[in-house]
Chain A
Amino acid sequence: MLTYTLKRLLMAIPTLLIVITISFFLMRVAPGGPFDGERQLPPEIEANLKAAYHLDEPLPQQYLRYMGNLLQGDFGPSFKYKDFSVTELIAQGFPVSLEIGGLAILLALLIGLPLGIIAALRRNSGVDYTVMGTALAGIAVPNFVIAPILALVFGVLLAWLPAGGWNGGALPNLVLPVIALSIQQIAYIARMMRASMIEVLGSHYIRTARAKGLSERQVIWRHAIRPALLPVTSYLGPAIAGIITGSVVIEQIFGIPGIGRYFVQAALNRDYTLVMGTVVFYGALIVLMNLLVDLLYSALDPQIRYDD
């Protein structure tokens, strides 16, 4: 298990290198640069800017410089948010995204899993149709629609909760963004859990368990749920990585200082260093999450072992 983990971590290094290299050159190939804007700059000023950010050097040299700095853990300064380094921006934003995203995933699991199980057990009943119909609606309605409606109803009309703002992560400020972020996840998880539960309930070992005379409760709790969790688990890896790196929509609507918006803003601004910083960070997180999921697999399914 330990050797497997180490092997996977080592394999992550070339993966990340490829990701970084491709992103670096893709970013430079994209038309427009970090200093192109509505106002054309006088040539001497553009020259100053390019020199200050080493953009006047040949591309391979810029690449080597970037990789060299990266090895020393230096992501460089942001081109746009100049009082912060990229490291500072990620360090300030990630805990916020992690908190919102983590709570949203937790909420999604707490609600989505039981809903999926209940729907599977009451297959084709009124309960099933209601749960799955609602879930379908949850998937279909994007969060840029849900979020403003939540803000309008609970923030403006009822005035129970703040319509936006972070306020240092105070509980009232967390409620709406966490709900808005989790609705789609609840829907996905519920549907996935239902499908996999139905499949498991139809398998031979469940029939055997029932034939042994186990109570229905025991059959479900001891034999059905654990294997049914496998597909949900493999979905959770990338989903968690995605959700804890923030959502640009939720962050902008509720004014939350997470890192989600950097993915979009940095690319639009051609903020090269910030784009690279978020790519490296997100890439590493995906690799880590996938590894965790694979390790969790073996805990859930005794047939999966990573001994050699």
Chain B
Amino acid sequence: MLRHSHTLLGAMALSSLSLTSLALATPAQAETLNIGVMGELASFDTSQVSGGVWESQVLMDVYEGLLKKNPEGEAIPGMATDWEISEDGKAYTFHLRDDAKWSDGEPVTAEDFVFGWQHLLDPASASKYAYLLYPIKNAETVNVGDKPLEALGAESLDGGKTLKVTLESPTPFFLQLLTHYTAYPLPKHAVDEYGKKWVKMDNIVTNGAFEPAEWISQSRITVEKNPEYYDASEVSLDSVNYFNTEDRNAAISRFRAGELDIIRDYPSSRYQWLEENLPKATHLSPMLGTYYYVLNTREGRPTADKRVREALNLVARRKVLSEQIMAGSFKDAYSLVPPGTSHYDVQRMDGVDGDYAKRLAKAKQLIEDAGYGPDNPLHLQLRYNTSDEHKKIAIALAAMWKPLGVEVEMTNAEATVHYQTIQEGDFDVARAGWIADYNDAENFLTLLRSGVGNNYGGYDNAEYDKLLDQAASTLDLDKREALLEEAENVALDDYALVPLLYYVTRNLVNPDISGWQDNAEDDHPSRWVQFSE
């Protein structure tokens, strides 16, 4: 048996230290944090959540998984105090804390985790994000309905004090995954009592630092401090309001009027104004996300030709996009996996920065070699989903490709139609973006694996797939990293896509708040937040 990682223990020790200092400053007054989020929560039933960043914000405040996040966004022990991992990396044994309780005082047991995961994977729940738990043994077959719920590789032992989880294959990012809302427990006793109505405000119980108190659809969700939370004495805030502020310019007015303390994801077009006028409140920091253009590599498309893909990459001037078009609110990208990804070094596409004149000359040659010229201009069908940002970038790229004699035909559509169209392969070049579900390179690299739905361009490279397969069964983290990095280089050498920008987190935060820190996953549990005196 391997004991669990030292960094986690270290982080736990650190966080309890900082907690002591926080506790000293706890004010006597009732304190409410007002957060402007950019959308409506789909449900307090985590199996029904649709994947918005704003949804994780609410859910991580009211629920807690086996592991939770500290202000820096690192995973630290949550409902589980410690755990063992078997030698083969396929069995995890979690020991739950003795004082873990639901907000009605009932204990949180391993049974609640098993029940929650089974509920998520139950075909009848039709959970969109069920596949995140597929690393667990039989999870996929259960989700398809081929095996009963009980076949899931999660078992409650010692009267609910121990949770034993068996995996399909070693999954190095499994602990990371457990901080995601799909891995939260479900209050079995409440579901038994109220059935589907357990999520209603009158019935709901949760196990996080806060519990839901009021929900006015499309306007506000209020959560209050959960007195049964094991660390309740260390939680500074009395309540948190999440205001649905879809109009983000209006949200800025409300922030300036002092009605909101935090705004998540302010519009990138306002970045420079905010930086000048509210410098202390304006946050911008790297995020685990990549904005890229898909190149359709399917037979019959001009972009099936590697020379064309290389040429398009060579003259895409990322710095112009990030600094001039997007006014510094994005970072220029030269790879698929963004910086900040754990246990991974950023790779770099060859020759796509540096002397522009040389790049242009090379690109022109490549296009000519590929058989295009003044008599036979390269015609590309570019698709993007409707938004000012996407439009600006599409226009800029079309202009950058123009010196190559490329004629770009732009089509925009609302997101639903856009993604359906590009999934059907009806495009040459298309806008896409990916924000990490969990902090692991594999989450990005899967986007180019053959046969995967999100591989919109239909990139199909046996060597690439093989390297990913090898990485998936490699337990040693360093060896796995080398394999994943090699795989990414295969794809980058193939110019399989046009990486353009790395996403950044954009938040406005009241400078009087402490315990709120920028981090690559943009996770900010309110449990650590407090107002300074």
Contacts and interface: CB of A to CB of B under 8 A. Distances in A.
A47 to B, nearest CB: 8
Interface residues of B, number: 55
A48 B250 CA distance: 38
Interface stretch (A30-38, A200-208, A227-235, A281-289): A30-38
A166 B250 contact: no
Contacts of A93: 217-218
B42 A42 contact: no
Interface stretch (A82-90, A111-119, A134-142, A236-244): A82-90
Contact of A32 (B50, B145, B417): B417
B454 A39 contact: yes
B259 A39 contact: no
B419 interface: yes
Contact of A253 (B43, B247, B259): B247
A39 to B, nearest CB: 6
Contacts of B45: 82-83
B413 to A, nearest CB: 8
Contact of B253 (A53, A83, A156, A268): A156
A214 B147 CA distance: 91
B416 interface: yes
A84 B253 contact: no
A148 interface: yes
Nearest to A155: B257
Given A44-B143, A166-B220, A255 B433 contact: no
A44 B147 CA distance: 14
Given A40-B453, A159-B257, A164-B253, A92 B216 contact: yes
A269 B250 CA distance: 22
Contact of A80 (B50, B126, B140, B421): B50
Given A31-B417, A40-B454, A254-B250, A53 B243 contact: no
Contacts of A42: 131, 453
Contacts of B40: 80-81
Given A35-B128, A42-B453, A80-B50, A162 B416 contact: no
A62 interface: no
B416 A151 contact: no
Given A40-B423, A83-B200, A155-B254, A33 B245 contact: no
A48 B271 CA distance: 41
Nearest to A80: B42
B280 interface: no
B111 to A, nearest CB: 24
Interface in B31-72: 40, 42-45, 48, 50-51
A46 B244 CA distance: 28
Nearest to B200: A83
B257 A83 contact: no
A155 B260 CA distance: 13
Which 5 residue pairs are nearest across A and B when measured between Cβ atoms?
Answer: A40-B453, A32-B416, A257-B219, A52-B126, A163-B257
18 contacts: A31-B416, A31-B421, A33-B416, A37-B50, A39-B51, A40-B423, A45-B128, A51-B123, A52-B124, A53-B126, A80-B42, A151-B253, A251-B218, A252-B250, A253-B247, A253-B250, A255-B219, A258-B218
Given A51-B123, A82-B45, A159-B257, 13 more contacts: A32-B416, A37-B51, A38-B432, A43-B453, A48-B126, A49-B128, A88-B217, A92-B217, A147-B250, A166-B216, A252-B247, A269-B416, A270-B416
Interface of B: 40, 42-45, 48, 50-51, 123-128, 130-131, 140, 143-145, 199-200, 215-220, 243-247, 249-251, 253-254, 256-257, 259, 414-417, 419-421, 423, 432-433, 452-454, 456
